Amino acid sequence: MDSSQPQYPNLLIVIGASAGGLQQIVKIIRELPDYFQATVLFACHRDPKSPNVLHEILAKNTDLKVKQPIAGEKLVCTTIYVGKPEESVEVEGRHLRTEIDISDLARMERIDDLFKSAAQSAGENAVGVILTGMLSDGVEGLKAINEAGGYCMVQDPDDAEFESMPVSALKEVDADFVGTTDAITQKLISLAEGRVCK
């Protein structure tokens, strides 16, 4: 890896999903151990006017800490971050950046923006995961992670409720891992094994 690339001591996992994604992310986080040595950020497409309850749903399905991001706060390991429906979330170095933007364009670009910021901040220690969803959301962000030397994972289209996002990602990115959500979960656990958060 080029020495000019950013260095990041922890594993930074960013997960993007759209239609059908809630069920899949719940399946994944249910199996993550409470000592999971990584930071997880989850982005999905939601109506900005929808109830702000996603973090509560996730918290009921994992022993890991689930937080709504606060602008400027430092990322914490063994923690899952999920933004509010009207909020874009990005990573800046080892801190979080948030912005309220309810435009249709911002909503559609939230996965890409998060993934690109993870690539820039974490480089080879970034892990991008594309799950079920419509259209090609997240493809550009996953490409950025790939180009930064990070690890790219895509849900098997046959396992996805909506295959468009996984199919689009696989057309554009030479993914390091393709599998069911169960297989993705086990791979994430394997990638974090032996790491110690700093």
List active site positions.
18, 45, 137
3 state DSSP class of 198: coil
Please give the angle made by the CA atoms of 46, 133 and 116, to the nearest 5 degrees.
75
Closest CA to 83 of 64, 63, 119, 107: 107
Q: How far apart are CA 32 and CA 184, in angstroms?
A: 11
Q: How far apart are CA 64 and CA 59, in angstroms?
A: 8
Strand 95-100 vs strand 87-92: parallel, antiparallel, or unpaired?
A: antiparallel
Q: Whole-angstrom distance between the N-terminal and C-terminal Cα of the chain?
A: 21
